[in-house]
């Protein structure tokens, strides 16, 4: 069993869809990104790290992470997070 084959090609999108549902219900969010306007965008660190490797440096701890991206407007940060969850 050297190779792993995904039989259901929709599994990946189903997984991210479930994470997206959890995000919308604000369940188990562990990273909050503070934007230019001072608003925050909550997400799951594992999802952001999968899409944006720079967030991987925060994976080693068990704490809730707060990141300030004061150069970017809320709309831009939220769009980037939405993209990480599959669009």
Give the global pTM.
0.83
Residue 3, pLDDT above cutoff 80: no
Asked if residue 14 is part of any domain, the answer here is no
Asked if residue 70 is part of any domain, the answer here is yes
Residue 1, pLDDT above cutoff 70: no
Asked if residue 7 is part of any domain, the answer here is no
Chain segment 29-56, per-residue pLDDT in tens: 999 999 999 999 999 999 999 999 999 9
Asked if residue 41 is part of any domain, the answer here is yes
Asked if residue 16 is part of any domain, the answer here is no
10 secondary structure, DSSP code: T
In angstroms, the CA 54 to CA 24 distance is: 23
- Which residues form the domain of 71? 25-84
Strand-strand pairing, 40-43 and 31-34: antiparallel
Name the residue with tokens 């050297």: 2
With CA atoms as reference, report the closest residue to 29 among 42, 17, 48: 42
Asked if residue 15 is part of any domain, the answer here is no
The total number of structural domains that make up the chain: 1
In angstroms, the CA 84 to CA 8 distance is: 21
């Amino acid at each position: 069993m050297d190779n792993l084959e995904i039989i259901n090609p929709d599994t990946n999108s189903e997984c991210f869809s479930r994470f997206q549902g959890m995000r919308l219900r604000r369940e188990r969010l562990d990273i909050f990104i503070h934007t230019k306007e001072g608003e925050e965008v909550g997400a799951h660190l594992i999802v952001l790290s999968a899409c944006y490797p720079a967030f991987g440096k925060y994976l080693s701890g068990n704490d809730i992470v707060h990141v300030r991206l004061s150069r970017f407007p809320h709309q831009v940060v939220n769009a980037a997070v939405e993209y990480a969850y599959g669009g």
